Amino acid sequence: MKKEYDFSKGKRGQVVKQKGKTRITIYLDNDVIEKFRERSDAAGFGYQTMINEALREYLSEKKEHVTATAIRQVIREELERVAHN
């Protein structure tokens, strides 16, 4: 064993990084975690995997926000349609 080690080129973090995953700390309500644990036990895989899948599903849904501009456009189109009938 050396008396002194040179850590000047050392890097913080995991020795072996997981590909495509990042460890984070997040606060979730206890009841939410418990529900995911119950469901994951029934499904046979980890609750963190299930939370990740739920987040991925939520992000994949196209949720368009209704704006005042969009409402005005729909009203113009409908008024034009009614005027021509």
Q: pLDDT tens-digit profile of 7-34?
A: 888 877 766 777 888 888 999 999 999 9
pLDDT band at 63 (very low <50, low <70, confident <90, very high): confident
Q: Return the closest-CA partner of residue 13 out of 5, 3, 24, 28.
A: 24
Residue 61 has pLDDT above 70, yes or no: yes
Q: Which residue matches tokens 């995911």?
A: 36
Q: What is the mean pLDDT of residues 30-47?
A: 94
Go through 66-84 and write b for each residue having 16 or more CB atoms within 10 A of its CB, e for each that does not: eeeeeeeeeeeeeeeeeee
pTM check: above 0.85: no
The more confidently predicted of residues 10 and 39 is 39
Whole-Å CA distances, 82 to 22, 23, 26, 74, 78: 54, 56, 52, 12, 6
